[in-house]
Every structure is written in structure tokens, then in C-alpha cells.
Amino acid sequence: MEVIIQPDAKSATRLVARLIAKELRLKPSLTLGLATGRTMEGVYAELAVIHREEKLDFSLCRTFNLDEYVGLASDNPGSYRHFMNKHLFSRINIDPRNTHVPDGLSKNLAAECEAYEALIRECGGIDLQLLGIGIAGHIGFNEPLSALRSRTREKALSPATIRQNAGLFGSAERMPKRGITMGVGTILDSRSCLLLATGSAKAEIVAKAVEGPVTAMVSASALQLHARCRAVVDEEAGRLLQGQEYYRWIFGNEPEWAEFRQAEPARASLQATD
Ligand code: F6R
């Protein structure tokens, strides 16, 4: 895994958006794996700005979201489909038919999960999978003890996840207790992974996932098995990492990062929407 430490959440978020934009320019028909959550809001806001101001083209891009709550309709403000439409899809020139989020209302969830996997395969697999990390180490809804080879399936949410996301539903009681999620194995099949974590609350789990042992107790630790995984963290989320000096050296010296090293000028338009 390659770890990049940025001074603050804004620069970490911008870097992730820049990395996605670069891959999309290199391959306009990119198949992008997407995540939801507070951390991703800034990434999508930045991608919308790059689309608007630099004409980043999503017209040939296909997307697959990691997960969705079971029992929520797509127009429910708590659903991940709603989140994606609001934060990204409505702000860029993507064809809605090219965007995929598991259907949490499916009458046959097992069939829905199988069909989701089949569709990913038919599209040639995921080129770039964007990931956040939950405070108990989940990626998607792969809660602790998710099999490292798991595929898309229905999953009971852990108490930690319910606590983490309950605020978005007003209370834990109102929050769905099950989700559909790509498996850890599905995520590991992507050609590259890009994890973003910001804020002090993520510091402990980031250290476990990146430098701890690979264990099903911390699903994100499975990313250590991925041949091309980059983790971008801000100072706060990276503060417990033992290899900080080395990670900083990599970003400061390796040629592949040269184009991302210069601080970008603040953009009035982005600040206005923050
Ligand atoms: C959601 C997802 C989750 C989140 C994680 C972090 O699609 O994949 O793994 O990335 O729960 O959420 P935030 O960013 O809200 O802390």
C-alpha cells in the first residue's frame, strides 16, 4: 500500500479528486467504484468543480457503488442512491443509466447481489475503487469478521456502524439495520483502490488497517493484499502511523507524485459551496 499524508482534510480530499480526474482523462470509459459518507462529500464537490471548470468528461464513465441500505427507496434521503444523485450524479454529465447502486428494495436480495456481481464482470471489472473507512474498519458495509473473500451480499450492520450513521436518520431506531454491500473479495478484484480518511476519529483505525496485521476483524486491513492501493490521509487521521517519515518522503520525492505536489490555488467557486 502507498500512504500519502496531506496537511489537512481539504488538501487530502482535493488530491483524491485529482487522482480520479487523472484516471478518467487517461481512460474516458473508466469503471469507477464509488463510496458514500461524509468523507466523500468533499471529493464529489471537487469533482463537480473540475467537471464545470475544466470540462472533466463523465459521459462514457460507468459507476458502481459499494453499498446500499436494505429497505430504502431511491428517493429516501437516507438512501445511498439519493446521496449519489445529490452529491455527484446531478452535478456532472454522467448518463444515469451508467450509474449503479444495489437495489435495497429488491424482493430477492440474494439474486440482486448476484446480478450486481455479474454486471460488474460484464462491464470488465472496476478500474478504480474509491473507499472510505468506518471507525470499526469497515469498507462498504463489510463489518468485522467479513470474509476476506466475500462477494456482494446482504449484511447485518454492526453496532459501531449504527452509532456512526444514526445521526443521519435522526435516531438509531429509524436507521435500517441491514445493507447490501460489495464483498471484500469484490473490492480486492478492482484494478486499483483509493482510500481516503480524514480527521482525528479515524487515526486509530487507519493505523490498524494500514500497519496492523491483516485480519477479518478490520476489513480495511485486507487492502494490504491489493497490488495497487493508495491511502490518502490528512495529518489527523495519519497521526498514529509509524511510517510517517517514509510516507512523507514518498510524496515529496517520487516522480509519480510531482504533478500533485504544488499547492493548488484556492478556488472561489468551491469555497462558496463548502
Ligand atoms: C459507504 C461506505 C463506508 C464509509 C465509511 C466512512 O458507502 O463505503 O465504508 O466510507 O463508513 O463514512 P464517513 O465518511 O461518513 O466517516
- The answer to whether the CB of 109 falls within 8 A of the CB of 117 is no
Q: How far apart are CA 187 and CA 202, in angstroms?
A: 21
Going residue by residue through the chain, which has 274 residues, state the pLDDT in tens, using 9 for 90 and above. 999 999 999 999 999 999 999 999 999 999 999 999 999 999 999 999 999 999 999 999 999 999 999 999 999 999 999 999 999 999 999 999 999 999 999 999 999 999 999 999 999 999 999 999 999 999 999 999 999 999 999 999 999 999 999 999 999 999 999 999 999 999 999 999 999 999 999 999 999 999 999 999 999 999 999 999 999 999 999 999 999 999 999 999 999 999 999 866 556 555 444 4
CA of 131 to the centre of ligand 1 (A): 7
Query: Which residue has the CA at smallest separation from atom 4 of ligand 1?
Result: 132
The three three-digit cell numbers of residue 134, written as one number = 468506518
Residue 143 Cβ < 6 Å to ligand 1: no
Q: Which of 48, 1, 12 lies closest to 197, judged by CA? A: 12
- The letter for the amino acid at 153 is R
CA angle 236, 241, 244 (to 5 degrees): 90
Cα of 255 from ligand 1 centre, angstroms: 31
**Residue located nearest, by CA, to atom 1 of ligand 1:** 36
Name the grid cell of 187.
473490492
Question: Contact, 66 vs 152, CB < 8 A?
Answer: no
* Neighbouring C-alpha atoms within 13 Å toward the C-beta of 37: 23
The pairing of strands 99-100 and 192-197 is unpaired
Ligand 1 atom 3: residue of nearest CA: 140
Global pTM value: 0.96
Q: Give the chain as a 3 state SS string.
A: CEEEEECCHHHHHHHHHHHHHHHHHHCCCCEEEECCCHHHHHHHHHHHHHHHHHCCCCCCCEEEECEEECCCCCCCCCCHHHHHHHHCHHHCCCCHHHEECCCCCCCCHHHHHHHHHHHHHHCCCCCEEEECCCCCCCCCCCCCCCCCCCCCEEEECCHHHHHHHHHHHCCCCCCCCEEEECCHHHHHCCCEEEEEECCHHHHHHHHHHHHCCCECCEHHHHHHHCCCEEEEEECCCCCCCCCHHHHHHHHHHCHHHHHHHCCCCCCHHHHHHC
Bridge-based pairing state of the strands 99-100 and 67-69: unpaired
Q: What is the spatial distance between Cα 224 and Cα 210, in angstroms, rounded to a whole number?
A: 7
* Nearest protein Cα to ligand 1, atom 11: 134
Whether 136 contacts 217, CB under 8 Å: no
CA angle 101, 35, 179 (to 5 degrees): 55
